[in-house]
Amino acid sequence: MDGFMRIVRLAWSYLRIGIANEVQYRVNFFIQILQSFIALATGLIGLWVVFSQTTRLGGWSQPELLAVMGIYMLMGGVIQSAIQPNMQRLMNEIQDGTLDFTLTKPVDGQILVSIREFRFWQLTDVLVGLVVIIIAVFQMQVRLGIGQALVFVTTLLLGGIMIYCFWLILTTTAFWLIRIWELVNLFQGLYAAGRWPVTIYPDWLRIGLTFLVPVAFAVTVPAEVLTNRLTPLTLLGAFGLATLLMVLARFIWRLGVHSYSGASA
Amino acid sequence: MKRYIDFYLTAMKFAVLEQVQYRAQNYFYMVGMIVEPTIYLVVWTTIARQQGGSVGGYTTGGLAAYYIVWTLVRQMNVVLTPYDWENRIQHGRLSMELMRPMHPIHWDVAYFAGWKFVMVFLWIPIAVVLSLIFKPTLNPTGWQVGGFFIAIWGAYLVRTMMYEMLGLITLWTTRVSAIFELFFALELILSGRFVPMTLMPAWVQHIAYYLPFQWTFFFPINSLVGSPAPIDLLTGLGMQLMWILIGVAVVKVVWHFGIHRFSSVGN
């Protein structure tokens, strides 16, 4: 328990430093807002083009797809603010051999590399995503109970955990492959698939996006909660896969650290 | 002239030798890139099926052809991103490149052109797999194949000049990401990257005709998968040439004024 509190305190310190660092650059906030709106506009134009040709896409109506887009933005904001910056830093440190300084610290290495960076202004995407979700819920004219809202938040959390594990596994390959900045592109390409409900994809892609890359659990499943499509089995699967991925990420991380030889230091 | 040819050949050879070492990484990059058109293809195929097999004149086979050729055009369209320029300037690497007796842009053009050979080679198996899955219908004429071959290099140069121009903005301000993102968004919508331009409303197509974007995606793709007359192909290639020349001129002017502002941050 003591160890746990120590980690929480450490994470809190890093969070504060991250925020303090970012609020120095207040103009960046407006730039970020602008970027969030550009992303929103692009997404809306995409939906508009699609729905100018049809009224439903694979059984999903326009407001339902708007909800998917909101969740996609929200989760994207979480990834960009808390997950990806950490992983990119880890990537660089493995390549440069400066990870030595992190590994020698008296805290669990995996935890430390996962909490060091926080991009506060990126949270504008979370905010915009949230607004889009609320508008979509109004448009769908569904009544959300407390229970459903709780399940929604749970699925979002599980989705976030799965994305983190997936990112960590990807990044850990740097221990063997050294130069992997292309992974950022790979991940962003795969994540972009979450803009649409994975149910419209052919089997092989849908299965890949569910189990290999947990985009389905990060975006589509929370959207299924809001549109009353979720089955208890899916929820159970989300818990199961999240646990599995955490164990797997931990295992691969340990394997990676073992084969790390400090390229330059 | 001879020294330029020498330089280009050497830089291209260098790019090939360097990139061949990073095959796994090149594949990572490519797989990420191939997901994007697959998503669009699935979305539009779904719509086409719902409407009895075609949307806006594209059958499912036609859509498959469009987005598979898209993946090749996308490889050809990989250029130095404006973010690399930002990096170059923020870290002062540009100082070193300025010492060379040649404009730094030559290196970019030559290096990425050389890299294309590795990319396209690695792309072939991916194209085969995609074709087996999505079954494209593709019957180009000899004219079209020839036009396509020139058009993809034209597209490469048009996009290179656009992105170099964008990157040079970093000489004035290092807060450029919003400008870049806006530009990427415009490109996505107006280039035929998200959807064949012919599925866009007429007024959007009209605007796009007078912008550089569609000459880097829609035009080369359509020159192979559509049924353009030889005169359309020539017009398109002419438009590409025009945009390349405009790009070169703008980059020259911007460079002339911008380089004086460069104060070598970093080392």
ipTM score: 0.81
Contact call for A50 and B47, based on CB within 8 A: yes
Which residue ranges make up each domain of chain B? Answer: 2-261
Please say if the pLDDT value at position B91 is more than 80.
no
Report d(CA B4, CA A246) in Å as an integer: 54
Angstroms from A158 CA to nearest CA on chain B: 24
In sequence order, the 6+-apart residues with CB closer than 8 A to the CB of B145 are: B224
Does any domain span residue A228? yes
Angstroms from B166 CA to nearest CA on chain A: 16
Domain span at A177: 2-259
Contact call for A57 and B46, based on CB within 8 A: yes
Confidence at residue A262, expressed as pLDDT on a 0 to 100 scale: 64
Which site among B30, B41, B43, B177 would you substitute to test the A interface, given the most A Cβ atoms closer than 10 Å to its Cβ? B43
Confidence at residue A265, expressed as pLDDT on a 0 to 100 scale: 46
Contact call for A183 and B28, based on CB within 8 A: yes
Residues facing B262 on adjacent strands: none
Q: What percent of chain B has pLDDT over 90?
A: 61
Does any domain span residue A197? yes
Report d(CA A87, CA A95) in Å as an integer: 12
Does any domain span residue A84? yes
Contact call for B28 and A186, based on CB within 8 A: yes
Instruction: Compute φ and ψ for B59, nearest 5 degrees.
Output: -80, 170
For B43-57, b/e burial (b = at least 16 CB within 10 A) is bbbbbbebeeeebbe
Report d(CA A173, CA A94) in Å as an integer: 10
| Lookup result for tokens 């396209």 | B120
Contact call for A177 and B24, based on CB within 8 A: yes
Please say if the pLDDT value at position B266 is more than 70.
no
Give whole-number Cα distances, B179 to A15, B36, B165, B173, B186, in Å.
Answer: 28, 22, 12, 11, 11
Confidence at residue A264, expressed as pLDDT on a 0 to 100 scale: 52
Report d(CA A51, CA A44) in Å as an integer: 10
Burial class from Cβ neighbours inside 10 Å (0-12, 13-18, 19+) for residue B30 reads buried
Does any domain span residue A192? yes
Contact call for A42 and B31, based on CB within 8 A: no
Look up residue B89 and give its two tokens. 């300037």
Mean pLDDT for B120-139 is 92
Give whole-number Cα distances, A80 to A129, A155, A218, in Å.
Answer: 13, 19, 14
Angstroms from B43 CA to nearest CA on chain A: 7
Q: What is the band of B264 on the pLDDT scale with cuts at 50, 70, 90?
A: low
Could you write out the DSSP letters of every residue in chain B? -HHHHHHHHHHHHHHHHHHHHTHHHHHHHHHHHHHHHHHHHHHHHHHHHHTTSEETTEEHHHHHHHHHHHHHHHHHT----HHHHHHHHHTTHHHHHHTSSS-HHHHHHHHHHHHHHHHHHHHHHHHHHHHHHH-------HHHHHHHHHHHHHHHHHHHHHHHHHHHGGGT-S--HHHHHHHHHHHHHHSSSSS-GGGS-HHHHHHHHTSSGGGTTHHHHHHHHS---HHHHHHHHHHHHHHHHHHHHHHHHHHHHHGGG------
Please say if the pLDDT value at position B105 is more than 80.
yes
Report d(CA A94, CA A176) in Å as an integer: 10
Which site among A42, A57, A88, A119 would you substitute to test the B interface, given the most B Cβ atoms closer than 10 Å to its Cβ? A42
Confidence at residue B265, expressed as pLDDT on a 0 to 100 scale: 55
Does any domain span residue A88? yes
Partners of residue B200 in chain A, C-beta under 8 Å? 49
pTM: 0.86
Confidence at residue A234, expressed as pLDDT on a 0 to 100 scale: 92
Pick from A56, A180, A200: which is nearest to B43 by CB? A200
Report d(CA B201, CA B189) in Å as an integer: 12
Say if B182 is an interface residue toward chain A (CB within 8 Å).
yes
Look up residue A232 and give its two tokens. 């208890």
Per-residue pLDDT of chain A (265 residues), as tens digits, is 678 888 899 999 999 999 998 888 888 888 888 889 999 999 999 999 999 888 889 889 999 999 999 999 999 999 999 999 999 999 888 888 888 888 888 888 899 999 999 998 889 999 999 999 999 999 998 888 899 999 999 999 999 999 999 999 989 988 887 777 777 778 888 888 899 999 998 888 889 888 888 899 999 999 999 999 999 999 999 999 999 999 999 999 999 998 887 655 4
Q: Please give the mean pLDDT across all residues of chain B.
A: 90
Say if B174 is an interface residue toward chain A (CB within 8 Å).
no
Pick from A35, A38, A53: which is nearest to B47 by CB? A53
Could you write out the DSSP letters of every residue in A69-125? HHHHHHHHHHIIIIIHHHHHHHHHHHHHTTTHHHHTSSS-HHHHHHHS---GGGHHH
Please say if the pLDDT value at position B145 is more than 60.
yes
Angstroms from B18 CA to nearest CA on chain A: 13
Partners of residue A204 in chain B, C-beta under 8 Å? 133
Angstroms from B186 CA to nearest CA on chain A: 8
Look up residue B117 and give its two tokens. 């050979």
Burial class from Cβ neighbours inside 10 Å (0-12, 13-18, 19+) for residue A106 reads exposed
Report d(CA B11, CA B113) in Å as an integer: 9
The crossing angle, in degrees rounded to 10, of helices A123-140 and A62-78 is: 160
Assess contact for A188 and A170: CB atoms under 8 A. no
Mean pLDDT for B195-220 is 94
Please say if the pLDDT value at position B61 is more than 90.
yes
Confidence at residue A263, expressed as pLDDT on a 0 to 100 scale: 54
Encode B45-87 in three state secondary structure: HHHHHHCCCEECCEEHHHHHHHHHHHHHHHHHCCCCCHHHHHH
For A216-234, b/e burial (b = at least 16 CB within 10 A) is bbbbbbbbbbbbebbeeeb
Angstroms from B230 CA to nearest CA on chain A: 30
Confidence at residue B267, expressed as pLDDT on a 0 to 100 scale: 45
Angstroms from A11 CA to nearest CA on chain B: 28
Burial class from Cβ neighbours inside 10 Å (0-12, 13-18, 19+) for residue B243 reads buried
* CB contact residues (below 8 A), chain B span 14-53, against chain A: 22, 24-26, 28-29, 31-36, 38-39, 42-43, 46-47, 50-51
Report d(CA B228, CA B63) in Å as an integer: 16
Contact call for B51 and A179, based on CB within 8 A: no
Confidence at residue A1, expressed as pLDDT on a 0 to 100 scale: 66
Does any domain span residue A264? no
Assess contact for B56 and B62: CB atoms under 8 A. no
Domain total of chain A? 1
Does any domain span residue A265? no
Contact call for B29 and A182, based on CB within 8 A: yes
Q: What percent of chain B has pLDDT over 70?
A: 98
Pick from A35, A192, A204: which is nearest to B178 by CB? A35
Look up residue B97 and give its two tokens. 């490149």
Nearest C-alpha neighbor of A219 from the set A87, A91, A65: A65
